[in-house]
Chains A and B, each alone.
Chain A
Amino acid sequence: MPGITREEVAHLARLARLELKSEELDHFAGQLDDIIGAVARVAEVADQDVPPTSHPLPLTNVMRADEVRPSLTPEQALSGAPAQEQQRFKVPQILGED
């Protein structure tokens, strides 16, 4: 079973969009290693022929009638936006410099 290195934590942080500080990488590497070492026990059942359960209820698609109903106004929808312009969410540039 694995050991989580500082480099792997940095990779996970990039995937998870977390700009971790250098000291956090060391701190989390030790802790994630402990946690994964403990939870890896689930692999005991990996070879068993058991169907997976993703949800406690059988999930079915739920539809509603295609009717207009009250919803948020544009002002309400934008009320928590960090920045807005022309009744739209204003975001930083989507493409970086490189």
Chain B
Amino acid sequence: MTDIKTDIIRLTAAEIAEKVASGELTAVQVTEAHLARIDAVDEKVHAFLHVDRDGALAQARAVDERRERGEKLGPLAGVPLALKDIFTTEGIPTTVGSKILEGWIPPYDATVTRRLKDAGVVILGKTNMDEFAMGSSTENSAYGPTGNPWDLTRIPGGSGGGSSASLAAYEAPLAIGTDTGGSIRQPASVTGTVGVKPTYGGVSRYGMVAFSSSLDQGGPCARTVLDAALLHEVIAGHDPLDSTSIDAPVPPVVEAARNGTVAGMRVGVVRQFSGEHYQAGVMQRFAESVDLLKELGAEVVELDCPSFDLGLSAYYLIAPSECSSNLARFDAMRYGLRVGDDGSRSAEDVTALTREAGFGDEVKRRVMLGTYALSSGYYDAYYGSAQKVRTLIVRDFEKAFEQVDVIVSPTTPTTAFPIGERADDPMAMYLSDLCTIPTNLAGNAAMSLPCGLAPEDGLPVGLQIIAPAMKDDRLYRVGAAVEAAFVERWGHPLLEEAPSL
């Protein structure tokens, strides 16, 4: 690999866009550099399920031609991106990490896909994920696990582990994730990258394969806060094709990312986000982050949110309940896998045989758990109570945001754990989402960004910032200030400490 290609893959998205717009680099050069990087390292990392070489180069050529014609390019034109394989892409396979959709070629684009294409973003391919976004390690993919670029024997987080790994491996400067219980933020945390779950309804869910519809939210992943903001602005905004899409202007996230500050802000620390499940090095880096916020002029307020202790339990009733209903569409009739149709079996038998063959263990567990929680006799005790917990969590957040502008916490209780360690221990796996779930249940916005390496294992720790609904800009204002202060302290971005692949 030539030096210029090595340099290209280490540029930020903002820098790439600027160089493409000025003519210093062509979009084709940038795309070729990233495709070469994927060729060189993805056999080891396995971030991608599908690389769309021809489509990416065609999109890059189109951007270069527009520039040659003198057209004004958008703020991310010519920048490569890795797209989570949960968004439909016309003519390009979309599997959701499941055997049940192996080989499915969608006949339409998701709104997020469409907006990326319209913005001149170059989609390199589709990234690996836990099947139907159910998991915290990407081990539940039907197509094999993804390695964490910091240590390939460890998990890159999940469900969006392909997206986070592609960023940390310099295969792409931008990626898209989806976050139902933490699937953008937890992968960002364990890979030393940045991930944002926007306010629920901020980014269209049209063309995003549904897992838990009242919780699912797509969002931006990047290596810097500003890059995440630029991507946020491209994909967010009202979409008439999604009935839960918010019809209001996108919060000014880019402006906030360019003007990072916490001076005079009130920052909340929630008592419930600590305890026995938290690794010492994670709590140490979190405490240092809180000290940094004080040094930067923030006032830190301790908060009590007692209902958060029930968040994990409520989530693992609500999400499986919604998924058991959403996944009923995989019935082997209109698309996807069909097994056992030998002319003698009924449609119902074929459906049951197909779902047995096409779904992995975690999907089966959650579909059955949801079926159980929604069955008569158990509904009030489980699903009904979980919905009450959800109200209490919303109220705890409302009370908290009367006192503070943002809340901070560790993103996830531990650093990246070894592949295999929790693969067949669902409760241990679920604990990864302890700090991220309350935000999904309440529908507000949150970011994870790197805050150091845990001293005991040298692996990245994430700082979570939580803001009220539709105040996504606060994440970027605080995130940019924290990021700048840390980079100054470390002398370089955290990711530069990752071993070369």
Alpha-carbon separation in the docked complex, A97 to B243 (Å): 42
Alpha-carbon separation in the docked complex, A52 to B392 (Å): 9
- Nearest CB of B to A50, in Å: 4
Alpha-carbon separation in the docked complex, A21 to B394 (Å): 41
Among A15, A19, A48, A94, the one with the most B-chain Cβ atoms within 10 Å of its Cβ is A19
Known contacts A15-B371, A34-B426, A35-B427; is-contact A52 B387 (Cβ 8 Å): yes
Output the nearest chain B residue to A15 by Cβ-Cβ distance. B371
Asked if A28 and B337 sit within 8 Å, CB to CB, the answer is no
* B475 interface residue (CB < 8 Å to A): no
* B11 interface residue (CB < 8 Å to A): no
| Chain A residues whose C-beta falls within 8 Å of the C-beta of B310 in the assembled complex | 41-42, 44-45
Among B353, B382, B394, B441, the one with the most A-chain Cβ atoms within 10 Å of its Cβ is B382
The count of A-to-B residue pairs whose CB atoms sit within 8 angstroms is 186
Alpha-carbon separation in the docked complex, A51 to B346 (Å): 43
Enumerate B385-426 residues with CB–CB distance to A below 8 Å. 385-392, 394, 426
| Chain A residues whose C-beta falls within 8 Å of the C-beta of B104 in the assembled complex | 80
Residue A43 contacts which of B106, B346, B381 (CB distance < 8 angstroms)? B381
Enumerate A80-98 residues with CB–CB distance to B below 8 Å. 80-83, 89, 91-97
| Chain B residues whose C-beta falls within 8 Å of the C-beta of A48 in the assembled complex | 388
Output the nearest chain B residue to A60 by Cβ-Cβ distance. B243
> Interface range on chain A: under 10, 10 to 19, 20 to 34, or 35 or more?
35 or more
| Chain A residues whose C-beta falls within 8 Å of the C-beta of B228 in the assembled complex | none
* A22 interface residue (CB < 8 Å to B): no
Known contacts A52-B384, A52-B387; is-contact A18 B367 (Cβ 8 Å): yes
Asked if A83 and B338 sit within 8 Å, CB to CB, the answer is yes
Known contacts A41-B310, A52-B391; is-contact A46 B364 (Cβ 8 Å): no
Asked if A80 and B336 sit within 8 Å, CB to CB, the answer is yes
Enumerate B345-397 residues with CB–CB distance to A below 8 Å. 345-353, 355-356, 359, 361, 364-365, 367-369, 371-372, 375, 380-382, 384-392, 394
| Chain B residues whose C-beta falls within 8 Å of the C-beta of A76 in the assembled complex | 107-108
- Nearest CB of A to B147, in Å: 26
Known contacts A57-B244, A80-B104, A80-B334; is-contact A42 B426 (Cβ 8 Å): no
- Nearest CB of A to B111, in Å: 15
Alpha-carbon separation in the docked complex, A52 to B389 (Å): 8
| Chain A residues whose C-beta falls within 8 Å of the C-beta of B385 in the assembled complex | 42-46
Known contacts A56-B214, A93-B347; is-contact A46 B380 (Cβ 8 Å): yes
* A72 interface residue (CB < 8 Å to B): yes
Alpha-carbon separation in the docked complex, A97 to B344 (Å): 8
Asked if B443 and A57 sit within 8 Å, CB to CB, the answer is yes
Interface majority SS (helix, strand, loop, mixed), chain B = helix
Alpha-carbon separation in the docked complex, A6 to B422 (Å): 23
* B249 interface residue (CB < 8 Å to A): no
Known contacts A91-B333, A94-B346; is-contact A46 B381 (Cβ 8 Å): yes
| Chain A residues whose C-beta falls within 8 Å of the C-beta of B380 in the assembled complex | 46
Asked if A50 and B392 sit within 8 Å, CB to CB, the answer is yes
- Nearest CB of B to A76, in Å: 4
| Chain B residues whose C-beta falls within 8 Å of the C-beta of A89 in the assembled complex | 333-334
Asked if B352 and A18 sit within 8 Å, CB to CB, the answer is yes
| Chain A residues whose C-beta falls within 8 Å of the C-beta of B387 in the assembled complex | 52-54
Asked if A82 and B341 sit within 8 Å, CB to CB, the answer is yes
Alpha-carbon separation in the docked complex, A18 to B355 (Å): 6
| Chain A residues whose C-beta falls within 8 Å of the C-beta of B346 in the assembled complex | 92-97
9 residue pairs, one from A and one from B, having the closest CB atoms: A56-B443, A80-B335, A52-B387, A82-B338, A76-B107, A96-B346, A53-B390, A42-B385, A62-B243
Question: Can you show 9 pairs from A to B with CB atoms below 8 A apart?
Answer: A16-B324, A53-B441, A56-B201, A57-B200, A80-B104, A80-B105, A91-B333, A91-B347, A96-B346
Measured CB to CB, the residues of A under 8 A from B are 4, 9, 12-21, 24, 28, 31-32, 34-36, 38-46, 48, 50-57, 59, 61-62, 64, 72, 76-77, 79-83, 89, 91-97
Taking A92-B345, A96-B345 as given, write out 8 further A-B residue pairs in contact, using a Cβ cutoff of 8 Å, ordered by the A residue number. Answer: A17-B352, A19-B352, A28-B365, A42-B317, A45-B388, A51-B391, A76-B107, A97-B346
